[in-house]
Structure 1
Amino acid sequence: MEPISILAPEHQAGEYINCKGYFSIVLQALVDHKVRFTNINMGWQGKVHDACIFRNSGLFQKLQEGTLFPDQKIIVGDVEMPICILGDPAYPLMPWLMKPYTGSLDSSQELFNYRLSKCRMVVECSFGCLKACWRSLLTPLDISESNIPTVITACCVLHNTCESKG
C-alpha cells in the first residue's frame, strides 16, 4: 500500500487523514517481478487500514476463490509450489499470501523475513518509479476528488507502458 496525497475539502477531514497525518486516498496494488502494476484498488480514504481495503477488494475475492492463478504452479529448485503473493505485516496470512513473521523471532524466521523483504523490494521500486515519473503524485493534486482515481489509474497504465517499452 502506498498513500497518494490529496486535498478533500468536501469531506470531513478525519476520513482522509492517514496514519502519517496527511490527507490521502489509498492506492493498493499488486505488482509483478517486472515492476508493473497487475491489479490496482484505488479510492479508499487514507484512514482505512490496508487489511480492510484488501479484504474488500476484487483481488482478495479472486484469490480466495482460486480464480486468479488457477492451477498455476512454479518450480523452485526441484519443488513444485503454488503461486502466491507477498505482503507486509498489515495483511492477513493466507495460503496464497506470504507475510513476515512478527514478534520474537529465531534465526530461521529472521532469515525468512530478510529474504521476503528482498523479494518485496520490487513493490517499493514500482511505487518509487511511479512517483519519480509522475512527480505530480508527490504533492497534493489540485483536481476534483472525483477525478483522482482516474488520474492515478492513468499514471499506473502509463507506468506499465513505459516499463514494458524499456
Structure 2
Amino acid sequence: MEVCRAVKRILLRRTLTLGKVCDIVADFAQMGFPNCGGVIDGTHIPILAPDHLASKYINQKGYFSMVLQVLVDHCGRFMDINAGWSGKVHDARIFWNTGLKITVREVEMPIVILGDPTYPLMPWLMKSYTGALTAARSVDCAFGHLKGRWCCLYGKLDLANDSIPTVISVCCTLHNICEGKDESFIQAWTLEFQHLETEFEQPETRAIRGAQRGLGGEATSVGGSWWQ
C-alpha cells in the first residue's frame, strides 16, 4: 500500500487531467456528437463483504462492490474519477456529491458531457440518447482496458475499506500512463476480463445499454470545476 499511496500522491493529479479541449471536441464531433467534452459513467468493482457494513455494499446484482465513476475523453483516458462509494449508492447520488461541473465562457453552443439515463439532465449534461452513439462507447472501451490490464479489479479486493479507493485510483492512473504512451493492449486480456465479468455482471441500471445493443460511503475524487 505504500507504493500505491506514493503513486496516488505524486502521479494521480499529473495524469488525470483535461487535455486539449479543441481536440476532444473535434474528435467527439467526428464520432457523431458535436460540442461534446467527455462521457461520464460508473462501474462496480467487486470487493469482499466489509465487516459490520455488508448491507451497505450489496448492489442490484447481489454482490458486494464499490463504485468507480469516471469522466472519459475521446481516447478513452480518464479526466476525472471518483472512487469508493458503496455499491448500493445510485449513480445520480454519486454525481451530485462529486462536485463535478462545467463552467463555460460565453459561446454560441456550450460544451456538454454525455451520460446515461441514470444521470440528471442539465444544461451541460446530456442524457437518454437512444441512438447508436459512437461517442458513448469510449467509456466502455476505457473500462475494458482498465479491467483487462488490472484484473485485481475483478478479484474481490481483500483490503480495508479505506485502502480500496486508493488501489482503484492507482489503476486508473496507470491506465492513463499506458494509454498516453500507446502501450499495446493484448486481446487475450479482454477474454480473461470477460470471463471474470460473467461472474460479476454489472448491475443493469443503464437503460441506454439496450438501445446500443439494437433496440433503437465517502469517495476519493479528482477534478471539480474545469473549462472555466
TM-score in terms of structure 1 length: 0.80
Alignment of 1:94 onto 2:122: yes
Partner residue in 2 for 1:46: 87
**Ranges in structure 1 where 5+ consecutive residues have no aligned partner:** 74-79, 102-112
For residue 45 of structure 1, report the CA deviation from its aligned partner.
Answer: 0.7
Structure 1 pair 7–83 and aligned structure 2 pair: CA distance change class (3 A): same
**Equivalenced residues, count:** 141
Distance apart, 1:72 and its partner CA: 7.9
Partner of 2:43: 2
Q: Secondary structure at the match of 2:45?
A: strand
Segments ≥4 residues shifted beyond 6 Å: none
Residue 145 of structure 1, CA deviation: 1.8
Write the mapping of 1:138-153 to structure 2, written as runs, cut at 5 A. Answer: 138-153=154-169
- Between the aligned partners of 2:68 and 2:141, the Cα distance in structure 1 is 15
Contact 1:72-1:83 within 8 A present in 2 as well: no
Counterpart among 54, 62, 67 of residue 13 in structure 1: 54
What is the alpha-carbon distance in structure 2 between the residues aligned to residue 153 and residue 56 of structure 1? 18
Greater relative contact order structure (CA < 8 Å, 6+ sep)? 2
Gaps of 5+ in 2: 1-41, 183-228
* Shift, 1:81, TM fit: 2.8
For 1:14, give the aligned amino acid: S
1:54-110 deviation per Cα after TM superposition (whole angstroms, max 9, x unaligned) = 011121xx33xx2xxx3286xxxxxx5321110001011111011115xxxxxxxxx
Partner of 1:123: 139
Provide the alpha-carbon RMSD of the alignment: 1.5
Q: TM-score, normalised by structure 2?
A: 0.59
Percent identity, aligned pairs only? 58
Aligned to 1:110: none
